[in-house]
């Protein structure tokens, strides 16, 4: 790759000779570049090798040589910047472009999207942070939870309609409400070639024993080849539905022994990790997948931390169904929300005045209005009236009078690191509380800190988000119980009330999951204030593009299910 000095020499040469219609001499160029004749020839040969110029030296001293330009300084810089972008060296590319972020974004958009490399179909996506915690038991963030579906399999899964269907298990029976039997597909292997064994399944669920959803598993047995039985301590008519959760994906029994497993996980899913560096995550199709092989050969997720996600529009369109339609005709609300969680167990909200003050002061309307002038107002957010789209529990929440908190009080706000929206919301909340003489202290947490109750006990309010990814009501269970973040912040008796609702539901057949009651209870107790929902949809003019893809605001879709429609003459 050419050096900065060579590019500067080319700039000088171009400026001096681009309009020259007659020949030139080596001595003249040597003077211009402040080089010896020998070094000048070397420089010209390097430029010729790069394809920038054509240099035909004349025979004999004093004769004019022929110099022709194939590139301009701008095209040279663009070409080099593209190379560095492909290598993930955005800072170097930006230096070459003299700090012009608009041009950098244009080149990034050109590099993203669909490409064909060595006969392989490759999709390149932008993302604002690294994705290095790719283990089901640690997937506390929404993007990591999405990727679990691409890398791992459970015994059962949900299809696009929200119906339960087989995954590792092809059939299953509820012998009794406390005895479930699953029949496994034979000869399933992990990405490293190791066969999936009964011990892998048993150890996966043993590790989930502290999770309320799976705490009633008494025993996991192997009565026959490719048969697994679950013995439960309490009746559960919907156990097969619970096995679709992201944290119930099957992992090797050696996973917990590896310190690098979360970054380079080994599953059985349709994609496997080829590279997970600071610059990009590369997934490649699992050629030995027991299901349908993905039609996209490789997915690259580029880490672009210094560019606002709203600027990172995908370099392709996506379409769903047989006809291309506009974005406005085919959008839906993401099944979840961004929300404010009060710590009513060990934070200020233990006090009823603080609870009412915080829930009535930090409102979606306040935050959305302030975001209108920020660089995230185009991400597709709209006011949430409940935890899930369509619920309107916030409209009926009673406003109770409270005593204004004492001036000089300190409130501690927590949220996860490397999030594009939360720092903006934190700044808005800080300004609003300052009007009442209250100081806001903000603490960012990485994944491991979020999972550690000792690290989080002193936080008063949390900015958090959830995305269930399906319309199936009991998908709420994974959010409620996977990481105990709600339990740690909620009074014990109130959380036990929610647990009791779930126990009653699972103990009776043909019951609807109490999603409405649970969500209403969380809102009416001021445990949670829903803030925003987000749109997910597909782009306009989605022809000759990725098919069968439905994207959320940051471009995620199910890699396994999509395909690229070729251009036809």
Which is nearest to 15 in space by CA: 5, 7, 25, 23? 7
Residue with tokens 């931390």: 305
User: In this structure, are strands 563-564 and 381-383 parallel, antiparallel, or unpaired?
Assistant: unpaired
Name the DSSP letter for residue 15: H
Q: What is the largest CA-CA distance in the chain?
A: 100
One-letter-per-residue 3-state SS of 46-77 = HHHHCCCEEEECCCCCCCCEEEEECCCHHHHH
> In this predicted model, which residue has the larger pLDDT, 462 or 20?
462
Dump pLDDT digits (tens) for 410-435: 999 999 998 888 999 999 999 999 99
Give CATH 3.10.105.10 domain extents, the chain: 331-536
- Using a 10 angstrom Cβ sphere, with 0-12 exposed, 13-18 middle and 19 or more buried, the burial of residue 363 is middle
pLDDT higher than 70, residue 557: no
Question: Is 253 in a helix, a strand, or coil?
Answer: coil
Dump pLDDT digits (tens) for 27-75: 889 999 999 989 999 999 999 998 899 988 877 666 778 889 999 988 9
Dump pLDDT digits (tens) for 505-533: 999 999 999 999 999 999 999 999 999 99
> In this predicted model, which residue has the larger pLDDT, 239 or 471?
239
Give CATH 3.90.76.10 domain extents, the chain: 136-257
In sequence order, what E strands does 354-417 have? 381-383, 410-416
Q: 4-71 sits in which CATH class?
A: mainly alpha
3-state helix, strand, coil in the chain (%, to 5): 35, 20, 45
Mean pLDDT of the chain: 87
> And the tokens for 460?
């008063």
Tell me the C-alpha distance between 531 and 370, whole Å. 13
pLDDT higher than 80, residue 480: yes
User: How many CB atoms are closer than 10 A to CB 83?
Assistant: 15
Fold exhibited by the domain 331-536: Dipeptide-binding Protein; domain 3 (3.10.105)
pLDDT higher than 50, residue 323: no
For residues 479-485, average pLDDT = 92
Residue 554 Cα to chain centre, angstroms:
7
Total residues found in the chain within this entry: 569
Q: How far is CA 288 from CA 238, 267, 270, in A?
A: 31, 12, 9
In sequence order, what E strands does 105-178 have? 113-117, 120-127, 156-158, 164-166, 169-176
pLDDT higher than 50, residue 167: yes
pLDDT tier, 4 (very low <50, low <70, confident <90, very high otherwise)? confident
User: In this structure, are strands 461-467 and 410-416 parallel, antiparallel, or unpaired?
Assistant: parallel
Dump pLDDT digits (tens) for 364-395: 999 999 887 665 555 678 999 999 999 999 99
What is the model's pLDDT at position 489? Answer: 96
Give yes or no for a contact between 537 and 330, defined as CB atoms under 8 angstroms apart: yes
In sequence order, what E strands does 437-518 have? 439-445, 461-467
Dump pLDDT digits (tens) for 172-228: 999 999 999 999 999 999 999 999 999 999 999 999 999 999 999 999 999 999 999
What is the model's pLDDT at position 566? Answer: 67
Give CATH 1.10.10.10 domain extents, the chain: 4-71
pLDDT higher than 50, residue 468: yes
Tell me the C-alpha distance between 372 and 365, whole Å. 11
> In this predicted model, which residue has the larger pLDDT, 306 or 230?
230
What is the model's pLDDT at position 561? Answer: 67
For residues 263-283, average pLDDT = 94
For residues 313-334, average pLDDT = 48
For residues 247-254, average pLDDT = 96
For residues 488-497, average pLDDT = 97
Give yes or no for a contact between 475 and 468, defined as CB atoms under 8 angstroms apart: yes
Q: From 3.30.70.2610, 3.40.50.720, 3.30.70.120, 3.90.76.10, which CATH number describes the 136-257 domain?
A: 3.90.76.10
* Global confidence as pTM: 0.83
Tell me the C-alpha distance between 152 and 405, whole Å. 48
Dump pLDDT digits (tens) for 128-150: 888 989 999 998 888 898 899 99
């Amino acid at each position: 790759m050419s050096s900065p000095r060579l590019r500067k020499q080319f700039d000088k040469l171009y400026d001096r000779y681009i309009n020259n219609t007659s020949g030139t001499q080596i001595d003249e160029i040597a003077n211009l570049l402040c080089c010896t004749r020998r070094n000048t020839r070397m420089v010209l040969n390097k430029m010729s090798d790069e394809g920038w110029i054509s240099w035909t030296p004349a025979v004999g001293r004093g004769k004019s040589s022929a110099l022709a330009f194939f590139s301009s300084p701008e095209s040279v810089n663009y070409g080099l910047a593209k190379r560095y972008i492909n290598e993930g060296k955005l800072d170097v590319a930006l230096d070459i472009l003299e700090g012009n972020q608009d041009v950098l974004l244009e080149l990034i958009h050109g590099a993203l999207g669909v490409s064909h490399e060595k006969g392989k179909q490759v999709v390149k996506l932008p993302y604002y942070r690294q994705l290095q915690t790719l283990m089901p038991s640690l997937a506390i963030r929404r993007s990591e939870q999405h990727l679990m579906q691409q890398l791992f399999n459970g015994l059962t899964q949900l299809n696009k309609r929200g119906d339960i269907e087989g995954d590792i298990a092809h059939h299953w029976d509820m012998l009794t409400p406390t005895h479930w039997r699953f029949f496994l597909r034979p000869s399933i292997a992990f990405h490293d070639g190791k066969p999936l064994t009964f011990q892998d399944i048993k150890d996966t669920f043993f590790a989930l024993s502290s999770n309320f959803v799976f705490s009633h598993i008494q025993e996991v047995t192997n009565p026959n080849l490719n048969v697994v039985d679950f013995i439960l301590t309490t009746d559960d008519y919907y156990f097969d539905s619970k096995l679709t959760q992201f944290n119930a994906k099957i992992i090797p029994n050696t996973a917990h022994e590896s310190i690098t497993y979360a970054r380079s996980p080994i599953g059985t899913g349709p994609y496997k990790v080829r590279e997970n560096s600071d610059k990009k995550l590369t997934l490649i199709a699992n050629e030995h997948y027991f299901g349908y092989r993905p039609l996209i050969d490789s997915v690259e997720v580029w880490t672009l931390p210094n560019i606002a996600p709203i600027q990172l529009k995908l370099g392709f369109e996506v379409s769903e169904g047989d006809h291309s339609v506009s974005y406005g005709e085919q959008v839906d609300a993401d099944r979840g929300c961004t929300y404010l969680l009060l710590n009513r167990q060990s934070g200020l909200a233990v006090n009823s005045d603080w609870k009412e003050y915080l829930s009535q002061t930090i409102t979606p309307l306040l935050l959305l209005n302030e975001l209108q002038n920020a660089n995230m107002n185009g991400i597709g957010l709209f006011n949430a009236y409940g935890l899930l789209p369509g619920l309107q529990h916030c409209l009926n929440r009673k406003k109770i009078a409270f005593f204004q908190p004492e001036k000089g009080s300190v409130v501690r706000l927590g949220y996860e690191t490397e999030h594009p929206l939360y720092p903006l919301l934190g700044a808005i909340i800080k300004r609003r509380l300052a009007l009442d003489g209250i100081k806001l202290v903000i603490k960012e947490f990485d994944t491991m800190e979020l999972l550690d109750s000792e690290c989080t006990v002193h936080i008063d309010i949390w900015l958090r988000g959830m995305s269930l990814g399906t319309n199936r009501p009991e998908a709420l269970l994974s959010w409620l119980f996977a990481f105990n973040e709600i339990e740690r912040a909620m009074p014990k008796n109130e959380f036990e009330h929610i647990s009791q609702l779930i126990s009653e539901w699972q103990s009776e057949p043909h019951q609807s999951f109490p999603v409405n009651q649970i969500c209403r209870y969380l809102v009416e107790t001021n445990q949670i204030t829903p803030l925003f929902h987000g749109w997910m949809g597909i782009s306009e003019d989605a022809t000759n593009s990725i098919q069968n893809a439905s994207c959320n605001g940051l471009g995620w879709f199910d890699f396994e299910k999509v395909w690229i429609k070729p251009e036809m003459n």
